[in-house]
Structure 1
């Protein structure tokens, strides 16, 4: 196995009028890049969308949860498995989690920060007291704390990470032993062109208005824009394998599902108002052995609005990839793309040819994923 193995995922996706990810004013997030204002979707927003899509594909025990209410969740499991009343289960859960040294939040029972853990990990913590919960609940708080002091609560969070935690990591600033280094990095999505913030002025009519009553029952505005976005993420395969206890097959499964979920997910902000879900027009994967490479520099000079933004964005990506490989002498282990551009159409002929030159002949998305796995399996076997 190469010492370094990174899987870069590049996506071009056009989104219609939408407000995917709002700022503190309720408007779509933006950024200045290349001297002009761009539409932006934060990495956190798209990571959460990816995680939710990811979790929909796996059984409940294999899912991960990020919450301040870990004490409540643990107590629920203890009550379910032991038959204890809620008060007794809450006291045991509090005593168990006290060993982790989690800072307490303002609300009783909450932690001061969101903790990312696997359902199976919390099930394992509950199982530590499953056969003695009744006896523990009968103790006073001090005796209860002493009775559970030697139980390996922290160990349940140090291993057996669900795939989502192995991919996205876990950061607990004041308890470094609970940290998990992320195998995934996700960039902020950025429009390949200049955008303008627009506003939708809306009115809502009261259906129960009297016949002689006029006017709206509600008025308001929603900020929106539309954009062709460049999205980028990278996965460090060695870190992912390490996070999953050295299980290469589990890591390849996780990578495959990540590529699928990153490509097909979308933040849900104002989705009922805008119905903004689209598919990418291009997904490219590049396996590198040196370092991850974000190709956003292809759009430092914004695509002109009259040029055909989607096709030109894809062609710019192909050209930037070729330039990077030629100048720096990069030799990716594998590169492939799945896209909607065809050489049969005059408007996209140049784009299709540029993409083929850069990434090879296009393949269906399912084939891109399966071939990626085959290449990585061969590489891991060669390095064994």
Structure 2
């Protein structure tokens, strides 16, 4: 079947109060220089981990990234056949990893290996059903039954690139739409058993923080996601990713700052030609003493309109915003946004199938 391109763009504006959700090696909030000024930054890795944690909370089937994949396989073998002794289990596991061209040292892989529960289950069953292991079959098992996070974020296997998985999602580093000035909080702590505070502090220190209105962007290649998950699971998986990308938050210093906010503006776009990151809207930083959000929304929607001189008209654009939007299709709540995206994806897939 011939496949056409289909992409989902996620554009999000979200304000953060004083916070430190993603630290650098000095413990300070990460920053980036963009448009000649310092911006607040939250790394893509940090937000992808937050999304994976949100998947787990939603009972979504997720994978495990670990050096102890051999132990996972051994445990599953023992669960499936309790009559196997330890030596037999180890022999089967070693043979399987050798067939997959993945090196083990001290029962661990040299680097983190991303595996889904389905892959471990099927590989264990294959090892029980066969005495001689076929490399092609091992590869097939380790490429199939992908969990949603594995299908979205991909996998690199240095020992055997044939086991690599091309991730269907791209997540940008979130940056502030404006210049920020890093700050720090000086704090002290008293010893409860020393009586009143006239004896002085038992501990003192500082915590770095910043506040910002962030522009967050991600996209999903639906063609790649269908290759990884299959057509039916791809649509549901994409919608789940959208929801959890919008509602998740990295947890750095969250107990200190209680910074769990929600997006103030969301625009989801379905495109048939190319994904488009609208960060150029903020190359010239927003400047304001009355809040950054209103002008950030205006800038973002103006950039969206300007890109139409270069790319095709989107199949769908839908906005959820606390402010009035100039994009015609504006909804009142997240449920309505997700439903429109689901319907749009289903329509696009159906259209492709009819044309084929």
TM (normalized to structure 2)? 0.91
Residues 5-33 of structure 1: per-residue CA shift (max 9 Å, x gap): 11100000001111111111111110000
Tell me if the contact between 1:197 and 1:224 (Cα under 8 Å) persists in the aligned partners.
yes
In structure 2, what is the equivalent of residue 256 of structure 1?
239
Task: Kindly tell me the number of residue pairs found equivalent between the two proteins.
Answer: 350
Using the TM superposition, give the Cα deviation of residue 131 of structure 1 relative to its aligned residue in structure 2, in angstroms.
6.8
CA spacing shift, 1:40–1:359, aligned 2, 3 Å: farther
Tell me how far 1:256 sits from its aligned partner. 0.5
Instruction: Tell me how far apart the structure 2 counterparts of residues 124 and 9 of structure 1 sit (CA, whole Å).
Output: 34
Instruction: After TM superposition, list the pairs within 5 Å mapping 1:298-317 onto structure 2.
Output: 298-317=281-300
Q: Aligned partners of 1:252 and 1:29: how far apart in 2?
A: 34
Paired with 2:97 and 2:198, the residues of 1 have a C-alpha distance of: 59
Q: CA 1:317–1:33 in structure 2 vs 1: closer, same or farther (change >3 Å)?
A: same
Matched, 1:163 2:132: no
Superposition pairs for residues 250-329 of structure 1, below 5 Å? 250-325=233-308, 327-328=309-310
Per the alignment, residue 119 of structure 1 pairs with 117
Gap regions ≥5 residues in structure 1: 133-146, 342-351
Structure 2 unaligned segments of length 5 or more: list them.
none
Partner residue, 1:335: 317
22-31 vs 170-179, greater mean Cα deviation: 170-179
Larger displacement relative to structure 2 (120-129 or 83-92): 83-92
CA positional deviation for 1:190: 0.4
SS in 2 for 1:328: coil
Residues 103 and 217 from structure 1, CA distance in 2 versus in 1: closer, same or farther, beyond 3 angstroms?
farther
CA contact (8 A) 2:96 2:127 kept: no
Render the CA deviation track for 1:128-174: whole Å, top value 9, x for unaligned.
34479xxxxxxxxxxxxxx5544743322121211221111111233
Q: Partners of 1:187 and 1:308 in 2: how far apart? A: 24
Task: Please name the residue that 2:202 is paired with.
Answer: 217
Q: Which moved more, 1:96-105 or 1:19-28?
A: 96-105
The aligned runs of 1:128-147 (5 Å cut-off) are 128-130=126-128, 147=131
Match of 1:199 in 2: 184
1:23 and 1:69 map into 2 onto residues whose CA distance is 28
Q: CA RMSD in A?
A: 2.2
1:241 maps to 226
CA deviation after TM superposition for structure 1 residue 361, in Å: 2.9
How has the CA–CA distance of structure 1 residues 212 and 324 changed in structure 2, closer, same or farther, with 3 Å as cutoff?
Answer: closer
Q: What is the DSSP-based 3-state SS (H/G/I as helix, E as strand, rest coil) of the residue aligned with 1:383? A: helix
Distance 1:320 1:131, change over 3 A: closer
Aligned mates of 2:76, 2:154 — CA distance in 1: 24
- TM-score, length basis structure 1: 0.85
1:178 aligns with 2:163: yes
Q: Evaluate the alpha carbon distance shift between residue 176 and residue 204 of structure 1 in structure 2; reply closer, same or farther with a 3 A threshold.
A: same
SS at 2:199's partner residue?
A: coil
Pair 1:196–1:382, CA change in 2 (3 A)? same
In the alignment, which of 346, 357, 362 is matched to residue 331 of structure 2?
Answer: 362
For residues 314-370 of structure 1, the C-alpha deviation after alignment (integer angstroms, 9 at most, x for no partner) is 121111111212x326311100111112xxxxxxxxxx1xx2x23533332111111
